[in-house]
Structure 1
Amino acid sequence: MAPRSCILAVLAVLCILMSLYSQGYPVAPTDAHLMLCQPLTRCGDQFYDPLWHCCYDDAVVPLGRTRRCGNCTFRVCFEQCCPWSFLVKLRGQKCSAARTSDDRVCSSVSR
């Protein structure tokens, strides 16, 4: 190969590399709503973002939603009401399980 064609080949390669790298590298999204490759969380037939909502009784509700359990208030996304014993337990614990220090005892509300 002649020296002139080597120089042209090197310049062509440099030109191609510069044009490829001038487009920039892909950047990961910083907004949680743009993470399209993340698994989606479903509640019934709806999708929701678990950073802002949870699924309660097949409905998407905000994380701060509360309900009454006797004379107590519980957070539906994190706790559950055991109405026959008037206990508020952490979500996922069985109401029939022995009481723990995390449980709250509530009394019934007479009407």
Structure 2
Amino acid sequence: TLPRASLHLLTSAVFIVELLGSWDPEGVRDTGPWLCQPAPRCGDQPYNPLEQCCHNDTILPLNATQLCVPNCIFYPCFRHCCLESLGSQNQAVVTFKVPGMKPDCRSSPVSRICAQVSL
């Protein structure tokens, strides 16, 4: 039999291993919690919403910019470019994207009006 001190040491070691996590048969420790929700997808590709967004089925970095009309740059991860016709005037309007909703030029809050052009 093992001396009492060795038995306590062995019991403590097993307890510490259990606290640190489970071990697989090859001896590699499980290093993290299981995800509770699947990663968001853009088309068939997963992406990290802390670093990227999905814009028109394309994964973009959050700081990506695009041209709405000449001299009107916007961030497609956060805003949407709308081209509107108002009678004889056309205008480009950048609206805010509402999280969880498809961009809608009519109901999204306006960020800025870029240009007005006569027809």
- With the length of structure 2 as denominator, give the TM-score of the two structures: 0.62
Q: CA deviation at 1:19?
A: 2.3
Runs of 4+ displaced beyond 4 Å = 10-13
Q: Structure 2 counterpart of 1:37, which letter?
A: W
Q: Deviations over 1:23-66 (max 9, x none)?
A: 37337xxxxxx866333111101011111110011011111111
Whose radius of gyration is greater, 1 or 2? Answer: 1
- Tell me which residue corresponds to 2:104: 94
The answer as to 2:8 corresponding to 1:14 is yes
RMSD between aligned residues? 3.3
Q: Secondary structure at the match of 2:19?
A: coil
Q: CA deviation at 1:80?
A: 0.3
Question: How many residues were matched structurally?
Answer: 96
Listed as ranges, the gaps of 5+ residues in structure 1 are 1-7, 28-33
- Tell me which residue corresponds to 1:26: 20
- Tell me which residue corresponds to 1:45: 44
CA distance in 2, matches of 1:24, 1:89: 52
Listed as ranges, the gaps of 5+ residues in structure 2 are 22-30, 85-90
Greater Cα shift, 15-24 or 79-88: 15-24
Structure with a larger share of its residues in helix: 1
CA distance in 1, matches of 2:106, 2:32: 39
- With the length of structure 1 as denominator, give the TM-score of the two structures: 0.65
